[in-house]
Amino acid sequence: MVWGLVLIRRSRLAAYAMFERALLVSIFFTQVFVFIQSEFGACTGFLIALVLLITVRFMAERERELEADAEAEPETALARAVPA
């Protein structure tokens, strides 16, 4: 998570990738042990991590689309970003 915060100034897409990796580690490793310790209580943490993962993936995909639009047509991308 910390490395994602460091990267966010340079590249949001790289930061989102780091956030996604951190969430996957949390889901597949940490949540397993939390579930072993307290079964029902771990479901809330798992659902929160899952929602965060879906959100980060959506944000990364949106960032890819914005970068592709900016590379394809710089003037059109700017026109879409600023409402008329």
Question: Which structure tokens are listed for 22?
Answer: 């951190």
pTM of this prediction? Answer: 0.70
Q: Which of 54, 17, 49 is nearest to 31 (CA)?
A: 49
Band of pLDDT at residue 73, cut at 50, 70 and 90: confident
Determine the structural domain holding residue 50 and report its residue range: 2-81
53-63 pLDDT, tens digit per residue, is 999 999 999 98
Cα within 13 Å of Cα(32), Cβ side: 4
Tell me the backbone φ, ψ of residue 10, rounded to 5 degrees.
-85, -50
9-18, 45-54, 73-82: least confidently modelled range = 73-82
Cα dist from 81 to 7, 33, 46, 57, whole Å: 24, 44, 35, 21
| 17 neighbors 8 (Cβ within 8 angstroms) | no
Q: What is the C-alpha end-to-end distance of the chain, expressed in Å?
A: 38
3-state class (DSSP) for residue 55: helix
